[in-house]
Amino acid sequence: MTATSAEPTRRDFLYIATATVGAIGAAATLVPLIAQMNPDASTIAAGAPIEVDLSPIAEGQVIKVFWRGKPIFINHRTKKEIEEARNVNVASLPDPQPDSARVKPGKDQWQVLIGICTHLGCIPIAHQGSYNGYFCPCHGSVYDTSGRIRSGPAPANLPLPPYEFLSDTKIRIG
Amino acid sequence: MSGHQTYQPTNPFMQWLERRLPIGGFVYSSFVVYPTPRNLNYWWTFGGILSFMLAAQIVTGIVLAMHYTPHVDHAFNSVEHIMRDVNYGWLLRYLHANGASMFFLAAYIHMFRGMYYGSYKEPREVLWILGVILLFLMIATGFMGYVLPWGQMSFWAATVITNLFSAIPLVGEAVVTWLWGGYSVGNPTLNRFYSLHYLLPFVIAGVVVLHVWALHVVGQNNPTGVEPKSEQDTVAFTPYATIKDGFVLVCFLVLYAWFVFYLPNYLGHPDNYVPANPAVTPTHIVPEWYYLPFYAILRAIPNKLGGVVALAASIFILALLPWLDTSRVRSANYRPLFRQFFWIFVLVCIGLGWLGSKPAEGGYVIAARILTFYYFLHFLVILPVLGWVEKTKPLPNSISESILGKGLSAGASGSAAAKG
């Protein structure tokens, strides 16, 4: 039986080189097969930003718009709701976040949230629950008037979509 | 495989074919003369029933696919079109939907049989693990199939279950977007679920081939857990097992037909007759009955990632059964203490199923947590400990002895039964 020589042979080189090229080729083949499942161009285009006119929304009213297939809550908060959202020991929250970080500066009354419960994806109901914020009927998560989780199985506050004010009465979401 | 008689075709065509593709001989040795323990009871017929149900689902599924449209704007209506316009469409749809329930019913009975008689023990570990893989494939297939009618339950079940993957640390959100093919459950999601729902049953068929192959290599278990020792312990598969399987299949079909013709929507959820509405969540999102125990386990854990891990673990832990059960004795017939824990386990599974159908509040949550804890306790603590401490009953020397008694079975060669 030949002992393994100290020098790699030409055959060893060929084996390793072939296997390497084969592995790179296999990985390259997989790329389009996996990438095709990511959102396609038409889906991305349909997910382009939308503009929403805020003037018809009365104080205390919550409207629902759709952006990228997700429901967006736009809440014209009352003074009482803003106060209740501010009057809280932030450190005691399950997902600590001050209300000021969840609105645009100078626009405390406008709350724009993605209306999907962070637990398993149901849509919470506005003006319900013990904080008169949002309540998710699926498993009982309770959010406050800032959309922060207070009790129930949801792990995180209702997230904010990317948005900006184009004027005092118009926002662009996305 | 069998070494008994080889296939000797008298038909000239079969002689011609046998030389070129020995499928006749293969069927003959695997399903005609194949030695089958002579003491198999009716719990052993569910493998055959499962094979039939897989074929039934594939056949009804393929014909339904000729009339279904996998687009969010047309899916719901295409199913109604099947129900109302397509010739016998109502029958095909109800066969397929209720067939899924019957498929899972047979699968659970088949699995409980395996757990009771220790059919997962050496040398049948691979057979058992292939079965766990089959269960997982069935669960995936059934889930995707339920999304296709695009009713309220279809849409929201898809939303809830795909959202589970966001619990994966770091890459969770990216995985979910990739699964969805968009920013929420939508048309790309429906389309790919249709493709995979068509594919997976054939993957299941392939794994079933491996499952039956693994079975035939080691031979079937039997109610005593004692392996066949001589020809006296076995009978030919055909006609004995064939007819027994056939008879129970017919009884099973009566039950199936009862649902299809008299209670076709009993096992379903009325909310799925409402077209999917992404803006409105149904008050109670529940899966079909066969997923309820797993759903209860998912919701029992208050942490999102924890719930997902528990759900996956509740299925995966079955694969570890051959190593968790430390007993040398296979069959619960000879394990009086294990038998009691087995039936408690069955009740726990049924209890979890019931709790899965209830809203996740108050006493239901507490009960679900207790039963989930017990479910894992059974596998991780009770089974290993039982194997060490249990006093088992003495095993019969052979299958023949267990049927005929000690004195009478001592006639054949190889039988170890003592005469005196």
Domain holding A99: CATH number?
2.102.10.10
How far is Cα B357 from Cα A14, in angstroms, rounded to an integer? 61
B361: chain A residues, CB-CB within 8 Å: 139-140
How far is Cα B156 from Cα B111, in angstroms, rounded to an integer? 30
B363-389 pLDDT tens trace: 999 999 999 999 999 999 999 999 999
Confidence band (pLDDT; 50, 70, 90) for B88?
A: very high
- Residue A2 covered by a domain: no
For residues A161 and A113, membership in a common domain is answered with yes
Q: Which residues of A are catalytic?
A: 139
pLDDT of residue A56: 93
**What distance in Å separates residue B189's CA from the closest CA in chain A?**
9
| Contact predicate B2/B32, CB 8 Å | no
Select the residue from A64, A135, A138 to test the B interface by mutation, using most B Cβ atoms within 10 A.
A138
- Residue A153 covered by a domain: yes
B360: chain A residues, CB-CB within 8 Å: 138-140, 153
ipTM score:
0.79
B55-83 pLDDT tens trace: 999 999 999 999 999 999 999 999 999 99
For residues A78 and A157, membership in a common domain is answered with yes
For residues A27 and A55, membership in a common domain is answered with no
- Residue A85 covered by a domain: yes
For residues A50 and A22, membership in a common domain is answered with no
- Tell me phi and psi for residue B315, to 5 degrees: -90, -45
Query: Would you state the structure tokens that stand for residue B320, as one six-digit string?
Result: 């570890």
A20-65 pLDDT tens trace: 999 999 999 999 999 999 999 999 898 899 999 999 999 999 999 9
Which amino acid does the sequence have at B117? Y
Instruction: For chain B, give the mean pLDDT.
Output: 94
pLDDT of residue A74: 95
Write out the residue limits of the CATH 1.20.810.10 domain(s) in chain B: 27-266
Is the predicted pLDDT of residue B408 greater than 70, yes or no? no
Give the Cα-Cα-Cα angle A145, B184, A67 (nearest 5 degrees).
Answer: 60
| Contact predicate A112/A52, CB 8 Å | no
When pLDDT is averaged across residues A139-152 and rounded to a whole number, the result is 91
- Taking CA atoms, B216 is separated from B14, B31, B111, B309, in Å, by 24, 10, 18, 34
Tally Cβ neighbours within 10 Å of residue B136: 16
Strand partners, B151: B275
Confidence band (pLDDT; 50, 70, 90) for B215?
A: very high
Strand pairing category for A62-67 and A70-76 = antiparallel
- Stated pTM of the model: 0.90
* Nearest chain B residue (CA) to A139: B360
For residues A78 and A12, membership in a common domain is answered with no
Tell me if chain A has a CB within 8 Å of the CB of B244.
no
pLDDT of residue B312: 95
* Ramachandran region, residue A126 (left: φ > 0; alpha: ψ -120 to 50; beta: rest): beta
Which amino acid does the sequence have at B108? Y
For chain A, the domain total comes to 2
Instruction: For chain A, give the mean pLDDT.
Output: 91
List, in sequence order, every beta strand (DSSP E) within B57-214. none
Of B163, B181, B278, the CB nearest to A39: B181
When pLDDT is averaged across residues A146-150 and rounded to a whole number, the result is 93
Confidence band (pLDDT; 50, 70, 90) for B239?
A: very high
B155 contacts: CB under 8 Å, gap ≥ 6: B147, B185, B276, B277, B278
* Residue range(s) defining the domain that contains residue A70: 45-173
How far is Cα A174 from Cα B62, in angstroms, rounded to an integer? 42
Query: Would you state the structure tokens that stand for residue B258, as one six-digit string?
Result: 């009862």
Of A34, A68, A137, the CB nearest to B183: A68
For residues A152 and A109, membership in a common domain is answered with yes
Q: At what angle do helices B89-117 and B336-356 cross, to 10 degrees?
A: 150
How far is Cα B2 from Cα B132, in angstroms, rounded to an integer? 27
For residues A21 and A56, membership in a common domain is answered with no
Contact A69 B188 (CB under 8 A): no
Residues 131-170 of B with CB under 8 A from A: 156, 159-160, 163-164
Is the predicted pLDDT of residue B404 greater than 90, yes or no? no
| Contact predicate B372/B300, CB 8 Å | yes
pLDDT above 70 covers a percentage of chain B that reads 95
Select the residue from A38, A62, A64 to test the B interface by mutation, using most B Cβ atoms within 10 A.
A38
For chain A, list residues whose CB is within 8 angstroms of any CB belonging to chain B. Answer: 34, 37-40, 43, 47, 64, 66, 68-71, 119-123, 137-140, 153, 155
For residues A122 and A76, membership in a common domain is answered with yes
A140: chain B residues, CB-CB within 8 Å: 360-361
Write out the residue limits of the CATH 1.10.287.980 domain(s) in chain B: 286-390
- Tell me phi and psi for residue A113, to 5 degrees: -130, 155
- Give the neighbor-by-neighbor strand order of the sheet with A163-167: A50-53, A170-173, A163-167
Query: Would you state the structure tokens that stand for residue B123, as one six-digit string?
Result: 């040398």
Query: Would you state the structure tokens that stand for residue B236, as one six-digit string?
Result: 């030919």
For residues A34 and A67, membership in a common domain is answered with no
For residues A22 and A52, membership in a common domain is answered with no
**What distance in Å separates residue A138's CA from the closest CA in chain B?**
6
How far is Cα B41 from Cα A169, in angstroms, rounded to an integer? 76
How far is Cα B312 from Cα A52, in angstroms, rounded to an integer? 42
- Residue A74 covered by a domain: yes
B42 contacts: CB under 8 Å, gap ≥ 6: B244, B248
Is the predicted pLDDT of residue B311 greater than 70, yes or no? yes
Tally Cβ neighbours within 10 Å of residue B157: 24
For residues A108 and A52, membership in a common domain is answered with yes
Confidence band (pLDDT; 50, 70, 90) for B235?
A: very high
Domain B27-266 has what CATH class?
mainly alpha
Tally Cβ neighbours within 10 Å of residue B239: 11
* Nearest chain B residue (CA) to A36: B181
pLDDT of residue B32: 96
Of A37, A69, A121, the CB nearest to B192: A37
- Tell me phi and psi for residue A7, to 5 degrees: -85, 130
Tell me if chain A has a CB within 8 Å of the CB of B22.
no
DSSP 8-class letter at B398:
S
B318-337 pLDDT tens trace: 999 999 999 999 999 999 99
pLDDT of residue B362: 85
Query: Would you state the structure tokens that stand for residue B170, as one six-digit string?
Result: 């770091």
| Contact predicate B390/B338, CB 8 Å | yes
DSSP 3-state assignment of B79?
A: helix
- Residue A3 covered by a domain: no
- Residue A1 covered by a domain: no
Tell me if chain A has a CB within 8 Å of the CB of B246.
no
CATH number corresponding to B286-390: 1.10.287.980
For residues A17 and A61, membership in a common domain is answered with no
Confidence band (pLDDT; 50, 70, 90) for A104?
A: very high
